């Protein structure tokens, strides 16, 4: 597997980190209610791919403690859960050059704590894709892995909330160009039951 390419160069980068509006209010029981959504944007330019050969890229995401909204949320009321917001998360097929106009894509996202080598699969996709297609994670073509969700919770709610991400892709026959961008919305909440990852 080779790193993904941007501008023809190899890269190991941090994804774009965008925190959504921090919602904090008092619930009926007088407790502080905190919800926070963090969106990670992870583009991989697979470039030209050979059939049956997995290719991809590694990311080191920014430390969540460097995100003011995350810090503010933890101070308002300790965050107790995290999940993937499937309705607002998606993959975007930003470029695809293949004679048939579409290809079957196997696409996997795995995560680990910073510097660790025991990656857990967070999500997998298998299905046909075409250029300029956006596919939400609510699609049945995605499988969300329970062990990956557990790892996500352990890392992002732990003392050192730093994620490493591996993204791999594979096609059954060669393509001249393929670029896939993942938009992954992570929902945090102070309510331990407020982050269910469900379709």
- Domain contains 195: no
Q: Please tell me whether residue 146 adopts helix, strand or coil conformation.
A: helix
> For 141, what's the count of Cα atoms within 13 Å in the CB-facing half-sphere?
17
Closest CA to 3 of 46, 42, 40: 46
The whole-model pTM stands at: 0.85
The pLDDT confidence band at residue 29, using thresholds 50, 70 and 90, is very low
pLDDT over 80 at 199, yes or no: no
- Containing domain of residue 84, as a range? 5-189
- Domain contains 196: no
- Domain contains 197: no
- Domain contains 22: yes
Q: How many domains is the chain partitioned into structurally?
A: 1
Task: Give the range among 9-13, 19-23, 92-96 with minimum mean pLDDT.
Answer: 9-13
pLDDT at 33: 53
The per-residue pLDDT for range 133-173, each reduced to its tens digit, is: 999 999 999 999 999 999 999 999 999 999 999 999 999 99
- Domain contains 194: no
Q: Please tell me whether residue 80 adopts helix, strand or coil conformation.
A: coil
pLDDT over 60 at 39, yes or no: yes
- Domain contains 75: yes
């Amino acid at each position: 597997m080779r790193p993904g390419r941007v501008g023809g160069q190899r890269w190991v980068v941090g994804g774009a980190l965008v925190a959504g509006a921090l919602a904090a209010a008092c619930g009926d029981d007088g407790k502080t209610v905190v919800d926070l959504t963090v969106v990670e944007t992870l583009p991989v330019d697979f470039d030209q791919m050979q059939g049956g050969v997995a290719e991809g890229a590694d990311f080191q995401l920014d430390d969540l403690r460097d995100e003011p909204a995350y810090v503010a949320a933890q101070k308002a009321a300790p965050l107790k859960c995290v999940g993937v917001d499937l309705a607002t998360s998606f993959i975007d097929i930003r470029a695809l050059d293949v004679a048939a106009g579409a290809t079957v894509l196997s696409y996997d996202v795995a995560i680990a704590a910073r510097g660790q080598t025991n990656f857990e699969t967070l999500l997998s996709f298998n299905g046909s894709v075409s250029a300029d297609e956006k596919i939400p994670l609510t699609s049945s073509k995605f499988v969300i892995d329970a062990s990956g969700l557990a790892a996500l919770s352990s890392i992002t709610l732990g003392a050192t909330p730093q994620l490493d991400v591996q993204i791999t892709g594979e096609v059954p026959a060669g393509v001249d160009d393929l670029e896939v961008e993942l938009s992954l919305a992570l929902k945090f909440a102070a309510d331990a039951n407020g982050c269910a990852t469900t379709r």
